[in-house]
Amino acid sequence: MTSDDRLSPGLRHEPHVRAGWHRPWLGGPLVLALGVIILIGLLALPRENAALPVIARHAMEIAIPVWGQAEVVSEIVYGSRGFDTFGETFLLLGAVVVVLTLSRPREPRSEYVGEASEGHAEQCRLDPDEPESSDERRARRAESGEESETRRVRMSIVVRVAVRTAVPLLAVASVYTAVWGYTPGGGFPAGAAVAGVVLLVYVALGHRAVRRVVRTTVVEPVELAGAAVIVALGVAGIVIHGSMFANVLPLAQPLTILAGGNAQLYSGAEMVEVATGLIIVIFSLLGMGRDWTIRDDDPGDDSTTPGQGT
Amino acid sequence: MIVANYVAAGCVFCIGLFAVVARRDLIKIVMGLSLMEASTYLLLVSMAYRRGATAPLLSNPPSGESQQDVVHGTVSDPVLQNFCLTAIVIGIAVTAVFLTLVVRVAQHYRSVDAADATALRG
Spell out the domain ranges in chain B: 1-51+76-112
**Do A54 and A162 meet the contact criterion of CB atoms below 8 Å apart?**
no
What does the pLDDT read at residue A297? 59
pLDDT per residue as tens digits for the range A100-113: 999 887 665 555 56
- Averaged pLDDT score across all residues of chain A: 82
3-state secondary structure chain B: CCHHHHHHHHHHHHHHHHHHHHECEHHHHHHHHHHHHHHHHHHHHHHHCCCCCECCECCCCCCCCCHHHHHHCCECCHHHHHHHHHHHHHHHHHHHHHHHHHHHHHHHHCCCEHHHCCCCCC
- Who wins on pLDDT, A258 or A172? A172
Chain-centroid distance, C-alpha A300? 35
Is the omega angle on the peptide bond into residue A250 within 30 degrees of 0, that is, cis? no
Query: Is the Cβ of A188 closer than 8 Å to some Cβ of chain B?
Result: yes
What does the pLDDT read at residue A95? 95
Nearest CA in chain A to B58: A70
What does the pLDDT read at residue A127? 80
- Identify the band that residue B100 occupies on the pLDDT scale cut at 50, 70 and 90: very high
Q: Which of B92, B96, B103 sits opposite A288 (nearest CB)?
A: B103
Average of pLDDT values for A238-267?
87
Instruction: Inform me whether the pLDDT recorded for A8 exceeds 70.
Output: no
Instruction: Inform me whether the pLDDT recorded for A184 exceeds 70.
Output: no
Is there a contact between B47 and A34 if contact means CB atoms under 8 Å apart?
no
For testing contact with chain B, the best of A25, A34, A39, A48 (most B CBs within 10 A): A48
Candidates 3.30.200.20, 3.40.50.2300, 1.10.287.3510, 1.10.3720.10; CATH matching B1-51+76-112: 1.10.287.3510
- Who wins on pLDDT, A212 or A90? A90
In B, residues 73-102, which contact A (CB 8 Å cutoff)? Answer: 74-75, 77-82, 85-86, 88-90, 92-94, 96-97, 99-101
Burial B40-63 (b: 16+ CB within 10 A, else e): bbbbbbbbbebeeebbbbbeebee
What does the pLDDT read at residue A141? 76
Instruction: Inform me whether the pLDDT recorded for A44 exceeds 50.
Output: yes
What does the pLDDT read at residue A239? 95
In three-state secondary structure terms, A90 is helix
Instruction: Inform me whether the pLDDT recorded for B43 exceeds 90.
Output: yes
Instruction: Inform me whether the pLDDT recorded for A23 exceeds 50.
Output: yes
In A, residues 59-88, which contact B (CB 8 Å cutoff)? Answer: 59-61, 63-64, 70-73, 75-77, 81, 84-85, 88
Instruction: Inform me whether the pLDDT recorded for A99 exceeds 80.
Output: yes
Instruction: Calculate helix-pair angle for B78-109, A82-103, nearest 10 degrees.
Output: 10
Instruction: Inform me whether the pLDDT recorded for B37 exceeds 90.
Output: yes
Is there a contact between B108 and A28 if contact means CB atoms under 8 Å apart?
no
* Domain ranges (residues) in chain A: 66-103+156-289
What does the pLDDT read at residue A304? 45
pTM for this model (two decimals): 0.81
Single out the residue of B11, B97, B19 nearest to residue B46, CA to CA.
B11
CA atoms of A214 and B60, how far apart (whole Å)? 40
In three-state secondary structure terms, A21 is strand
Instruction: Inform me whether the pLDDT recorded for A45 exceeds 90.
Output: yes
What does the pLDDT read at residue B59? 81
Query: Is the Cβ of A121 closer than 8 Å to some Cβ of chain B?
Result: no
pLDDT per residue as tens digits for the range A124-175: 888 877 777 777 778 777 766 665 555 667 788 899 999 999 999 999 998 8
